[in-house]
Amino acid sequence: MTGAEMKGWESHPRPQFKREKWCVLDKGWKLNSRDINVPYPPQSKLSGYDKEVEERLVYICEFGVPDEFDKERILLHFGAVDQIADVYVNDKHVTHHEGGYLPFNVDVTDVLKTGTVNKLTVCVTDELSLDYPYGKQCKKRGGMWYTPVSGIWQSVWLENVPLEYIRSIRMTPDMDRVDISVEGDFNGFSVAVSLPDGDSVTKHFAGKQGRLELNGAISDSGKTVTPELWSVKNPKLYQMSVSAGEDAVETYFALRKVDVREIDGVKRVCLNGKPVFMHGVLDQGYFQEGIYLPEDEAEYEKDVLRMKELGFNMLRKHIKVEPEAFYYACDKLGMLVVQDMVNNGSYSYLKDTVLPTIGFKKRKDNKYVAGDAKRREVFESHMKETLEHLYNHPCIVVYTIFNEGWGQFDSDRMYEVAKSVDGSRLYDSTSGWFAQEKSDFDSEHIYFRTKKIKVKDRPVFLSECGGFTYQVKGHCFDENKSYGYGACKDGMELTKRIVDMYEKMVLPAVGAGLCGCVYTQLSDVEEEVNGLYTYDREVCKVDKGMMRELGERLYRQV
């Protein structure tokens, strides 16, 4: 079965790194001897798992190697497994992985049996250890903490590759070119870029790095190329084939640049050299039936379109790394993304939320805590891997390193580390409070009130605000419980309250240098009923026309 025949969650797990021969292994799984629907986490309804979820999980499935796999090597991929995984093929240990949000793979060619059934076993330990990134999961869910997930929660799949294959591709765009580097045992590589008129540009590079200039380039048919830039209104993606040796990968890139520039004496976030106001919502990435996953990956596109319909141009992906289908939807539909790192470590509601909310926002973060070495090492490693994993997605313009002091340490050093891995994005080092010296923003969270926003030397990013609640009967996780930051009786009151907050606090500050605002939040999540949509996405709780007009007023200010 080839990728062209697949649909739903069986479409290609890596839209930006596709080969011809691959197949998904999401059928026929058992977890602790009971049936389960992978890739949904066992705590979700969509998983069909009918047993209490334990801390030790053993997944087993049987699979055959597709007849069309005719290349030398076979890779086994996992999108994400939470938290610690040991993988066995035909009872032989093939890999160990720690951390629940990033993909990993292993070459299983030498342990496979061809022409017969193979046994895949995944042994998982998930104690919800605070040493590892865990996001908004909590064993005792409630309020701002949600139902935990365990084990396999993204697709498992096989890929057929030649003996020497392309390990990775890194694409760094600008407004007229893209720098390309290819990892693998090759002395050179070729690229073929598809142009909108059906023409193409092909080029061969010696070595493992090259620069493809598109502005003024001559196409294969002899025409002069005029490049199109990626933007919210024109999310132009260039399809590209990269070949090296016997291997070929289909990918895409966009021409765009994000930076901070001084415009008329005010420091602004700019996209392609022009000021842009990041008008966004907090996006937790939770779904009623699948918790960490929607039933169908098409739901990511629907969420993007829902928010664009309300006038937003940005999603802040909050303390979660998504399947690549989410980022692909944002890439092709033109939605800016502020991507949070997934924090680990302990969290204190009093010290990290209550006291800063009432004004105690200063705290040093470079003090070493005994016994904390592993947690810090895990966070730094996970941050680097996240930056590498998502590097090629043009939608991502900003990364959040720490949120509200949660697990925060050495934020100035973490800023430098992040910049060294990916210097093409901007960084909100300490979202909300506990700012140190190094960040591309002055970042604030403002709940329960409006206030005058002061702009100093850096662009100000109102990275969380609002959170007003409206509970829609018949569309609630629990109609007897609600959590949020101020109740509204109906959708019109909610809309007017949002508009009033923006008029008093946000709009007056844009001219002085407020570069973005994140409203809490895209949808309800369990007991939290402060979404613009209900948890099931069936009801939009605000007036769409009024929200679109609010967005237009914001965009006119920059």
250 and 125: one domain? no
pLDDT of residue 72: 94
Please tell me whether residues 250 and 384 are part of one structural domain.
Answer: no
What's the pTM? 0.96
- Same domain? For 122 and 175 the reply is no
pLDDT at position 419? 98
Q: Is residue 81 part of a domain?
A: yes
- Closest alpha carbon to 551 in 494, 495, 513, 473: 495
92-150 pLDDT tens trace: 999 999 999 999 999 999 999 988 899 999 999 999 999 999 999 999 999 999 999 99
CATH number, position 305:
3.20.20.80
Q: Is residue 460 part of a domain?
A: yes
Give me 335's structure tokens: 């939605």
For residues 421 and 470, membership in a common domain is answered with yes
Q: What is the pLDDT of residue 501?
A: 97
Find out whether 442 and 460 touch, Cβ atoms under 8 Å. yes
How many alpha carbons lie under 13 Å from residue 400 in its C-beta half-sphere?
34
What pLDDT, on the 0 to 100 scale, is given for residue 9? 75
Percent of the chain whose pLDDT exceeds 90:
89
Q: What is the CATH number of the domain that holds 144?
A: 2.60.120.260
Give the amino acid at 287: F
- Tell me what pLDDT residue 3 has: 36
Domains: count for the chain: 3
Same domain, yes or no, for 204 and 338?
Answer: no
CATH code of the domain in which 214 resides? 2.60.40.10
Q: Could you state, in chain order, the average pLDDT of each consecutive group of 10 residues for the chain (558 residues)? A: 47 95 94 96 96 96 94 97 98 97 98 92 97 94 94 97 97 97 95 95 96 95 95 98 97 98 95 98 97 96 98 98 98 98 91 85 81 92 98 98 94 98 98 96 94 92 97 93 92 98 97 96 97 98 98 95
Is the domain of 75 the same as that of 173? no
Note whether residue 263 is domain-resident.
no
424/382 same-domain check: yes
Q: Which of 105, 133, 161 is where one domain is finished?
A: 161
- The CA distances from residue 395 to 119, 328, 530, in Å, are 39, 8, 25
Residues of the domain holding 249: 168-256
Q: Is residue 447 part of a domain?
A: yes
Closest CA to 112 of 59, 83, 155, 76: 76
Tokens 């705590």 sit at which residue? 43
Question: What DSSP element (H or E) covers 260?
Answer: strand 258-263
Q: How far apart are CA 502 and CA 552, in angstroms?
A: 12
Query: Cα(528)–Cα(531) distance, rounded to whole angstroms?
Result: 8
- Per-residue H/E/C for 125-180: ECCCCCCCCCCCECCCCECCEECCCCEECCCEEEEEECCCCCCEEEEEECCCEEEE
- pLDDT confidence of residue 367: 77
| CA dist list (Å): 212 to 124, 173, 199, 203, 302 | 44, 10, 16, 8, 34
Domain boundary among 211, 231, 256: 256
Give the model's pLDDT for residue 8.
57
CA count, 13 A, side-chain hemisphere, 513: 20
Strand order in the sheet with 460-466: 426-431, 396-403, 336-340, 314-317, 278-283, 514-520, 460-466, 442-446
Task: Give pLDDT, residue 11.
Answer: 87
The CA–CA distances, whole Å, from 357 to 154, 212, 444, 478 equal 36, 48, 10, 27
Judge if 202 and 149 occupy the same domain. no
Same domain, 414 and 484: yes
One-letter amino acid of 462: L
Rounded to the nearest angstrom, the gap between the alpha carbon of residue 428 and the centroid of all alpha carbons in its chain is 15
Q: Looking at the domain assignment, is residue 261 inside a domain? A: no
Looking at the structure, do residues 123 and 245 belong to the same domain, yes or no? no
Read off the pLDDT of residues 286-335 as tens digits, 9 standing for 90 and up. Answer: 999 999 999 999 999 999 999 999 999 999 999 999 999 999 999 999 99
540-555 confidence digits (pLDDT tens): 999 999 999 999 999 9
- End position of a domain, from candidates 161, 180, 205: 161
In a domain? residue 77: yes
Tell me, yes or no, whether 262 lies in a domain: no
Residues 138 and 173 in one domain: no
H or E segment to which residue 90 belongs? none
Give yes or no: residues 239 and 124 share one domain.
no
Residue 480 placed within a domain: yes
